Structure 1
Amino acid sequence: MMRWALDHGNPLPPGWSYLPRDEEDVAWELFRDRFRSFRPSIYPTDWPAVVDPAPSVTFDLSVPENSPGVWSAQFDAINAEAQRCFVHVQDDPYWIVLDWQHPGYRLNAAAHAETFDAEWPVPVFPNGDYYIFARPDFSTGTFGHPWEKTLCVFGSELVQTLGRTLATWLPRKRENGDPLPG
């Protein structure tokens, strides 16, 4: 299974740096503007927590009960595919990473990908908190909802790459914010 930080006291792996507080505040404001709100909640009646922007596709990450290994395999596959798509954005390797109620980060996706067995302080797959990976202008990225068990891929750049590959094996829940039959 992919290595992800269980002890946030560890040094950051290559490619990761903390966002200064003022930049983190700006990033959260850009996120709220892009998604028109942010209503964190563990209650299904309050979901989705955001208004999915257009273009976007939101995937169902739920795993059937009594399916040993499925969650771990899905976790690894989503993070690996996201990283592959992040490094294919050639104009700039940097991404903003927000982890609700925790420090934010700047990720150099290329430097992280080039490091063997590098730990992820924050994974793309939402495993207990809201995780956002986005270009600095929030034109494209991902929003993971841990309790709804969804991953929203937004912006044309990632919808055409990450969204397209995830759609080959994950159920789609919403497209451009509209629920899909299912």
Structure 2
Amino acid sequence: MDYGWILLTDEEEKELWSKFNKVFHPRPSKSIFPSYIPTPFIQYDISNCYTEEFIQDFEDKAASAFQNCTTPGEHIYALDWQHDCYLVDARKEFPRHVPWRVDNGEWIISIYPDGDYHFFLASDFSWGILGHPWENTITIYGDKLLSCFSKTQPMMLHKVIKRIEDS
């Protein structure tokens, strides 16, 4: 079965991180948190949400949102800071048991930032999910993706830290 996760080459990954850095200006830190979020966005506290139930619910609803926000053949990026990154066909199945991760049954890159920054982004960066591991936050940005999540609110995303609307 084709799961739609395509490993980026080293050169593709280098170009993608370069673009990401120009757009978001991240400053990875354990004490100084970056402010690199386009508007509109909603930032959530996920510090008490690290359970299988919360993560699976968020994965299921994120997969549905990604499918609703893309057209057939359109890809999104799945980035894991300091690790492999992928181009993902959001219209294909997002299984919990992909062949190369059967050992733990998670997505290739978890929707939950489990020790590293995890980002899921539209190919043009117009919307996305930004996971911050030390801040224990998930930020959803872009009208299109926010609209999709407003219809099916994941259990994990219940404590809003900050909300900024377009001006």
Aligned to 1:75: 55
Q: In 2, Cα distance between the equivalents of 1:73 and 1:21?
A: 34
What is the DSSP-based 3-state SS (H/G/I as helix, E as strand, rest coil) of the residue aligned with 2:138? Answer: strand
Q: In the alignment, does 2:82 pair up with 1:101?
A: yes
Structure 2 distance, partners of 1:27, 1:144, is: 17
Over the aligned positions, Cα root-mean-square deviation in angstroms equals 2.4
Matched, 1:22 2:11: yes
**What residue identity is the alignment partner of 2:123?**
P
Aligned residues: 155
Q: Distance in 2 between matches of 1:103 and 1:167?
A: 26
CA drift of 1:73 comes to: 1.5
- The one-letter code sitting in structure 2 at the alignment partner of 1:104 is C
Q: 2:28 matched to which residue of 1?
A: 40
- Structure-1 separation of matches of 2:160 and 2:121: 20
What SS does structure 1 have at the residue aligned with 2:59?
helix
- Aligned partner of 2:103 in structure 1 is none
The CA deviation at 1:22 is 2.6
1:62 corresponds in structure 2 to: 47
**Per the alignment, in what secondary structure is the counterpart of residue 110 of structure 1?**
coil
Match of 1:153 in 2: 140
Q: Deviations over 1:76-121 (max 9, x none)?
A: 11111111101112424411111100121111122233x5743511
Q: Distance in 2 between matches of 1:80 and 1:106?
A: 19
Q: Is the 8 A contact 1:98 1:104 kept in 2?
A: yes
Tell me, yes or no, if the aligned pair for 1:27 and 1:136 is still in contact at 8 Å. Answer: no
Gaps of 5+ in 1: 1-12, 65-69, 178-182
Amino acid across the alignment from 2:87: R
| TM-score normalised according to structure 2 size | 0.81
The reply to whether residue 142 of structure 1 matches residue 129 of structure 2 is yes
Residue 101 (structure 2) aligns with: none
From the superposition, tell whether residues 75 and 116 of structure 1 become closer, same or farther in structure 2 (CA, over 3 Å).
Answer: closer
1:98-137 alignment, distance < 5 Å: 98-113=79-94, 117-118=97-98, 119-137=106-124
2: CA distance, partners of 1:163 / 1:147? 26
Letter in 2 for 1:33: K
Q: Which runs of 5+ in 2 are unaligned?
A: 99-105
% same residue:
28
Cα distance in 2 for partners of 1:106, 1:162 equals 22
CA contact (8 A) 1:57 1:175 kept: yes
Give the counterpart letter for 2:147 in structure 1.
Q
For residues 135 and 77 of structure 1, the distance between their equivalents in structure 2, rounded to whole angstroms, comes to: 21
Cα distance change of structure 1 residues 161 and 124 upon mapping to structure 2, 3 Å threshold = same
Indicate conservation of the 8 Å contact 1:16/1:105, yes or no: yes
